[in-house]
A and B are shown apart, each in its own frame.
Chain A
Amino acid sequence: MARYSNKNRYLNRLRLGKAGLLGLLGMLSGAANAAWQLNLQEPVTATARRVYDLHTLLTVVIVVIFVGVFAVVTYSLIFHRKSRGHKPADFHDNTTVELAWTIVPALILIAIAFPATSALVNMRDTSQPDLTIKVTGYQWKWGYEYLTGDAAGVKYMSVLATPRDQIENKAPKGEHYLLEVDRPLVVPVGKKVRILTTATDVIHNWSVPAFAVKTDAVPGFLRDTWFRADKEGTYRGQCSELCGKDHGFMPVVVEVVSDEKYAAWVAEQKQQMASAADDPNKVWKLDELLARGEKVYAANCASCHQANGQGLPPVFPALDGSKIVKGPKEGHLDIVINGKPGTAMAAFGAQLSDTDIAAVVAYERNAWTNKLGEVIQPAEVKARRGK
């Protein structure tokens, strides 16, 4: 989406005069992808192209109506003013005119309804997909799980990759500021991809403008949508339903790749999954746990409880010196596994492995001033699940 650079920006400024005129008429192609972009993003699916064309048609229609109506108004404003000595006529109520301005707009609307209907019917046809991916919204990241196809079983989280320093203006902002993730969704080009959306906490919305895809992720329910991208590339969108504090910081990134690259990616994922699977019976040492726990904490906990463990009270409590963290480990494990209903504290039991939970709980109990020196083993986590 954003091929953004200073040079590019300068050129776009030069083009602005012409582009502004064309853009108002909805005629501008999706070329202006950087700053001062005036139109929808360049479509890369047939559906998005239909939406693009429908929007162009509508924009032309409303501009013509607007110009027509206000041409009449402008004429009145110039020629029917008292200062030119214009005497008021006294006419009112004319059935013919009134019928005409009721029926003509109705006919225009009926004419527009045809392309609008067919574009929509096509959009909602999720039948016969080549592969199906479940997308889960979390506060504030996306979870992807491949349900069918070669990659069936591949499952991972996709988190904002923009460093905190850039957001806080302590470092220069990168090219894809706020639109970059650690692990994008990878799909093959030219295949019909069906997306099932759901969420665990609040309503999110999975949206990729270049595909004309935008669907709510509703906790406890499944929704679906689809796309068939016909060009390889990286496409970026954002969560489009207010979901709390970091709503602006959970982008969607989709990488569309060739069949060969997709096959290679799938093989790599499967291999990683096999090797990364932790031995559930391994007995961990404290320093190993803490090293791993710090990473898990940074990815899952730090956005609310903060890297320094101070939280953002009273909504997001401090963990440093917390009663629960310094109390019995069972209580601590329970809240991490089951979450706290009615708050943003998610049930991480569903998101993290036993080893990750053991690591993060051990980390929290030993970080900052909480020097409890306790080791927690994955087996203990397994024992607490479901309690």
Chain B
Amino acid sequence: MQATHTAGHAGDHHHDDHAHYPSGWKRWVTTTNHKDIGSMYLWFSFVMFLVGGAMSLIIRAELFSPGLQYVSPEFYNQMLTLHALIMVFGAIMPAFVGFANWMIPMMIGASDMAFARMNNWSFWLLPPAAILLTVSIFVPGGAAGTGWTLYPPLSVQMGIGMDMTIFAVHILGMSSIMGSINIVTTILNLRTPGMTLMKMPLFCWTWLVTGFLLIASMPILAGAVTMLLTDRHFGTTFFNAAGGGDPVLFQHIFWFFGHPEVYIIALPAFGVVSHVIPAFSRKHLFGYTSMVYAIAAIGLISFFVWAHHMYVTGIPLTGQLYFMYATMLIAVPTGVKVFNWVTTMWRGSLTFETPMLFALGFLVLFTIGGLTGLVLAMTAVDIQLQDTYYVVAHFHYVMVAGALFSAYSGLYFWLPKWTGHMYNEGLGKLHFWLSIIFFNIAFFPQHFLGLAGMPRRIPDYSQQFADFNVVSSVGAFGFGLSQLLVLIVVFQAVKGGAKADSRPWDGAHGLEWTVPSPAPYHTFEDPPAFDAAEAHA
């Protein structure tokens, strides 16, 4: 870590031009390079995104009209369970770990992640978990049909598919914990001299807080599913009243993990957007310090609001009141973030390349999701909306429009850095417009379905819900098919295209833009000089 070379000479360092790694499949299995591992995370998450997406289309096909058409109710339940588990643990989380792997070392001027071998292991745990989850469809009794929340006693009734899900969750949890220890250590220890915590890029801040959330919450999920496993097979009765247990205990433990999980997904998304909006506004982020405080506040409060998922389970009135007030509190730091992004654009010099379009899409739709979250926070109103399509609409606005749009924003933003080529801007914009239009066709009507009282997780519904369900299904298929465009864009950029400069976006700042595009296999073998004026503050 000695700065024997200045940044200007870093490119002369002879190691940079000689990447020593095995060729073919061995490169990918044995790699300890953060860029290789980042790419594998991103490809893995995209494959899982397609698998989970296909499942959601099975769901929307069945819901196209009243009556049972294509699948049995049991299979429908399995699809909605796997869709959620795969999207949360297989698609969104690995996507942002992929961004972290690629970008954090380059943003802080580190040569690689702190624990390079563990990094390899945290990635290679994912495919076995994904196989366990998807193959469970084919075992006797099928996959878990409990919803991703795995509530007992229903989950105790399930077949061996449930055990496979439990083991998959264990493995995914281990992978996440290792990944986040790695990221936290990298951020805390490998920053280039001069880059203090309050001068580091905001994406690193969001991941620092996310890393701690993961380290704190994943073991809790592991505990919950382990108790489920012993209830299923070893005669314990943690969740069985007949043996002195309580089914609702599981929900408390699950959501003590589950609510931070929401922010584990949302915070890195905030980080990406906090880079993209300043870059295309050609302005510094308005309030770096207040953004950092807001991130930390959201991370902390996320541990104290879990039972707002459980307003109808019979928790006492005082509990409902406390969780309502605590949940409302989260709106304050979230508002600070939105206002900061808005003020960053104010009097900027805006252009609308694909990364900016997706960041704006994120801003609009995430705000809608956040505001409906405020409605749901009110216990009395939530009792009408709990377990209806209003909730489904709400969390898809937060998860898809929030996390996925932000991931696309980051993908288009950094793709030139990764591939060395500019992507096809026309196709990128088409991808954005199709996505945002079809997304709203698919999910906005679900607010109305929920208000009218349509429960979620049902394969068939009464006739007054028919019209909006048709609209929603049409939107879902349009949205699903539009996502294939991104595959074309990425393949084109990998194969060729206009050469990208080291800083393809004139408003982008940070160390990652000082290295050539594509980024060489090894970057910053010596810590670069850090110009505090270039920092986000």
In the complex the two chains form, is B283's CB within 8 Å of A120's CB? no
Is the Cβ of B351 less than 8 Å from the Cβ of A82?
Answer: yes
B198 at the interface (CB under 8 A from A): no
In the complex, the answer to whether A244 meets B463 with C-beta atoms within 8 Å is no
Q: Is the CB of B346 within 8 A of A55?
A: no
Set A76, A169, A342: member contacting B69, Cβ < 8 A: A169
Shortest Cβ distance from residue B59 to the other chain A in the assembled complex, whole angstroms: 13
- Least Cβ distance of B50 to chain A in Å? 25
A92 & B286 in contact (Cβ 8 Å cutoff): yes
- Give, as a whole number of angstroms, the nearest-CB distance from B379 to chain A: 5
**Stretch from B111-119, B189-197, B260-268, B287-295 at the A interface:** B287-295
- A258 an interface residue at 8 Å Cβ cutoff? no
Q: Cβ of B478 < 8 Å from any Cβ of A?
A: no
Residues of chain B with a CB closer than 8 A to A87's CB:
349
- Interface-side segment among A97-105, A265-273, A320-328, A360-368: A97-105
Question: Which A residues, 19 to 51, have Cβ-Cβ distances below 8 Å to chain B?
Answer: 23, 33-41, 48, 50-51
| Cα distance A168–B73 in the bound complex, in angstroms | 12
User: What CA separation (Å) do A37 and B463 show in the bound complex?
Assistant: 12
Chain B residues near A244: list those with CB within 8 A: 77, 145, 154, 157
Report if B468 contacts A (CB, 8 A): yes
Chain A residues with Cβ under 8 A from B146's Cβ? 242
Give per-residue flags for A176-197: 1 if the beta carbon is below 8 A from chain B beta carbons, else 0.
Answer: 1111000000000000000000
Instruction: Tell me the chain B residues, 405-464 only, with Cβ under 8 Å from chain A.
Output: 448, 451-453, 455, 457-464
User: Of the 9-residue stretches A63-71, A289-297, A375-383, which lies at the interface with chain B?
Assistant: A63-71
Residues of A within 8 A of B458 (CB): 238, 247-248
A270-282 vs B, CB cutoff 8 Å, 1 = contact: the mask equals: 0000000000000
A227 CB, min distance to chain B CBs, angstroms: 12
* Given A37-B451, A212-B383, A214-B387, 5 additional A-B pairs, CB 8 A: A77-B350, A93-B289, A124-B317, A124-B320, A244-B77
Expressed in whole angstroms, the minimum distance between the Cβ of A20 and any Cβ of chain B is 9
- Residues A92 and B285 in contact in the complex (CB < 8 Å), given A62-B372, A221-B314, A248-B459: yes
Q: Please tell me which one of the listed residues B145, B350, B455 contacts residue A238 in the complex, with CB atoms under 8 A apart.
A: B455
Interface membership of A234, Cβ < 8 A: no
**Could you tell me if A35 and B467 are in contact, using CB atoms closer than 8 angstroms?**
yes
How distant is the Cα of A312 from the Cα of B77 in the complex, in angstroms? 15
Residues of B within 8 A of A2 (CB): 462-464
B534 CB within 8 Å of chain A: no
Contact B328 A113 (CB under 8 A): yes
Is B384 touching A120 in the complex (CB atoms < 8 A)?
no
Stretch at the interface among B23-31, B332-340, B488-496: B332-340
A317 vs B252: C-alpha distance in the bound complex, in angstroms? 34
Given A73-B345, A80-B345, check contact A89 B69 (CB 8 Å).
no
Q: Among the listed stretches A151-159, A198-206, A330-338, which one makes contact with chain B, having 4 or more residues with CB under 8 Å of it?
A: A198-206
Across the interface, A34 reaches (CB within 8 A) one of B141, B455, B464, namely: B464
Given contact pairs A37-B452, A245-B73, A66 touches B367 in the complex (Cβ within 8 A): yes
Contacts A93-B288, A173-B66 hold; do A112 and B378 have CB atoms under 8 A apart?
A: yes
Given contacts A116-B379, A242-B146, contact A219 B153 (CB under 8 A): yes
The answer to whether A342 touches B156 (Cβ under 8 A) is yes
For residue B335, which residue of chain A has the nearest CB?
A105
Contacts between chains A and B (CB distance < 8 A), count: 300
Taking a contact as CB atoms under 8 Å apart, the answer to whether B283 and A90 are in contact is: yes
Chain A residues close to B by CB (< 8 Å): 1-2, 4, 9, 23, 33-41, 48, 50-51, 54-55, 58-59, 62, 65-66, 69-70, 72-73, 76-77, 80-83, 86-94, 97-98, 101-102, 105-106, 109, 112-113, 116-117, 119-121, 123-124, 166-169, 173, 175-179, 201-203, 205, 207, 209, 212-216, 218-221, 223-224, 237-249, 312, 314-315, 342-344
* Residue from A69, A93, A239 in contact with B286 in the complex, judged by beta carbons closer than 8 Å: A93
B347 to A202, Cβ gap below 8 A? no
Provide the residues of chain A in CB contact with B381, threshold 8 Å. Answer: 51, 54-55, 58, 116
Cβ-defined partner of A69 (8 Å) among B242, B367, B384, B460: B367
CB contact between A220 and one of B232, B247, B348, B374 (< 8 Å): that residue: B247
Check if A123 sits within 8 Å of B463, measured CB to CB: no
Chain B nearest CB from A73 CB (Å) reads 6
Give every chain A residue within 8 A of B461 (Cβ-Cβ). 178, 248
User: A201 to nearest B CB, angstroms?
Assistant: 7
Q: Which of B147, B345, B350 has the most CB of A within 10 A?
A: B350
Measured CB to CB, the nearest residue on chain A to B139 is A314
- Please, which residues of chain B bring their CB within 8 A of the CB of A116? 324, 378-381
Measured CB to CB, the closest approach of chain A to B80, in angstroms, equals 8
Chain B residues contacting A35 (CB-CB under 8 Å) are 463-464, 466-467
User: Are B453 and A1 touching (Cβ within 8 A)?
Assistant: yes
Do B451 and A39 touch (CB < 8 A)? yes
The chain B residue with its CB closest to the CB of A122 is: B380
- Can you list the 9 inter-chain pairs with the closest CB atoms, starting with the nearest? A220-B241, A248-B458, A223-B314, A62-B371, A119-B380, A89-B347, A209-B453, A88-B349, A240-B387
